[in-house]
Structure 1
Amino acid sequence: MNNMIVYEIADLGALDITELLTESKDEGFRNIHRLVNEYNEGMNTFQHEDEALFECRVGHRVIGICGLNRDPYSGGSIGRIRRLYVLKEFRRHGAGRRLVEAVIHKASSHYTKLVLKTDNPKAGEFYKNLGFKGIADDELVTHELEL
């Protein structure tokens, strides 16, 4: 799958992420609907200098998405991975890795640490394979990566 390309998104509203919305909902995940709702309501538009939203494409098809925000629970030196989702048929082909690597690259210019929260065991293993360490007994963070 060498034809996957990751781009930083300037305007989520300009993207066709219908396929991501439909499949994520069918799988029981609410994160992509939250992404769209929070973006449309202006609650989270990834517009700060130290924030970004990335898409992964194959041709014109958006196959994955992942965001970087300032961690709202820390003093500003920590970034948070938000709303990672990759279409099922592209999982285990490097799309998620490329998206998270783009987030890590962007975050390393602004933050000392990157954190996230997931209750999905497969996602937890995915992040550990990328060098994140698991955090126990924290309601807000399940994984972190020192930058």
Structure 2
Amino acid sequence: MTLSLERTAAILPADFPELEADATADGHRHMTRLAAEFALNRTIFHATYTCRVNGRLAGVGAITDEPAMTVQTMWRMRRLYVHRQFRRREVARTIASALLLEATSKVSIVTVHAGNDGAARFWEAIGFRPVEDQEWSHEAQVLAGPEVR
């Protein structure tokens, strides 16, 4: 199995609709939102990465400013999705690591909003800690660089 990571430029890859269709079939609409956001205002994303397994689009993830009002500048990891056929193959971890590296030396905290228990377990496994009473569910400090395990 060969994993390859690519920083996405101004447009989503030509095979993105297959990933979007898988997300929709899996009950998730955030790939449709990602496509709409890319079409409307690509500049809201500090970085977007795609990951391929043996040349096939396996996942995508992006990072933006934290949309909630905060005292300090934070970034939020968002729109992370891995095709159901490619889960548990390090795709999500690879994308998350690249996004955390993007945040290093730019912000000290990266947030996420885990939409379900499985996502929460993933974020906690890579070093995010759960938080309460915030508009995000987990956060990670990236002062000295990402510490993704």
After TM superposition, give the deviation of residue 59 of structure 1 in Å: 3.8
Matched, 1:7 2:29: no
Give the structure 1 partner of residue 124 of structure 2. Answer: 128
TM norm structure 1:
0.88
Cα separation, 2, equivalents of 1:98 and 1:68 = 14
Q: 1:109 aligns with which of 105, 123, 145?
A: 105
SS at structure 2 position matched to 1:41: helix
SS at structure 1 position matched to 2:75: strand
Partner deviation per Cα, 1:4-52 (whole Å, 9 max, x = no partner): 111110122443211111110001100000000111122xx1466xx10
After TM superposition, give the deviation of residue 120 of structure 1 in Å: 1.1
Give the structure 2 partner of residue 64 of structure 1. Answer: 59
Matched, 1:144 2:142: no
Question: What letter matches 1:52 in structure 2?
Answer: A
Question: What letter matches 2:74 in structure 1?
Answer: I
SS at structure 2 position matched to 1:103: helix
List alignment gaps of at least 5 residues for structure 2.
143-149
Give the structure 2 partner of residue 23 of structure 1. Answer: 22
Cα separation, 1, equivalents of 2:110 and 2:22 = 27
Change (3 A) 1:137 1:76: closer
Runs of 4+ in 1 over 4 A off after TM superposition: none
Give the structure 2 partner of residue 52 of structure 1. Answer: 47
The farther-off stretch of 16-25 and 93-102 is 16-25
Change (3 A) 1:61 1:76: farther
Question: What letter matches 2:56 in structure 1?
Answer: R
After TM superposition, give the deviation of residue 76 of structure 1 in Å: 6.0
Matched, 1:88 2:84: yes
Question: What letter matches 1:5 in structure 2?
Answer: S
RMSD of the alignment, in Å? 1.6
TM norm structure 2:
0.87
* Number of equivalent positions: 141
Matched, 1:77 2:73: yes
List alignment gaps of at least 5 residues for structure 1.
none
Partner deviation per Cα, 1:43-77 (whole Å, 9 max, x = no partner): xx1466xx100000124321100001111323562
